[in-house]
Amino acid sequence: MVMQSLEGLPAFIAYFCLATVLVIAFLLIYTRITPMNEFELIRTNVPGASISLGLSLLGFALPLASAIAHTANLIDCAIWGLVALAVQIVTFYVARIPVPNLSGRIAAGDLAPAIWLGLVSLTAGVLSAASMTP
């Protein structure tokens, strides 16, 4: 019974490791393209940086989870994970249109722009995840 339950363990490990690599790649790339240093702002207790980055990460994780659930293999999953990453990068630039000094305001501690960016990122992630389902 236990061995039958663990038959999927190799696939779980493979997809979990791929997802972990993609999440790390997302964080490295996303925090490089934004003009602010999110991790430094989080270390210095700027809540907006945590809100915006955390919700952006969730906006990336949702389509990644959808890709894991719906793709046929690891390569397909990786490709769709990269698509989700690209969507989040584009979303960051789109969110700046109505709030041109978005990053500066988040770095200054303003919460409204951080919440705006985070929720726009989350919305893009939800729509990406839904678009990846067959």
Q: In total, how many domains does the chain have? A: 1
Residue for token pair 């190799």: 10
Radius of gyration of the chain (CA): 17
Is the predicted pLDDT of residue 103 greater than 80, yes or no? yes
> Domain span at residue 40?
2-131
* Strand (E) or helix (H) holding 54: helix 47-70
Q: Are 38 and 31 in contact (CB under 8 A)?
A: yes
44-76 residue pLDDT tens: 999 999 999 999 999 999 999 999 999 989 999
Query: What sign does the CA torsion over 123, 129, 131, 133 have?
Result: negative
> Whole-model pTM?
0.93
Q: Identify the pLDDT of residue 134.
A: 63
**What is the spatial distance between Cα 106 and Cα 104, in angstroms, rounded to a whole number?**
5
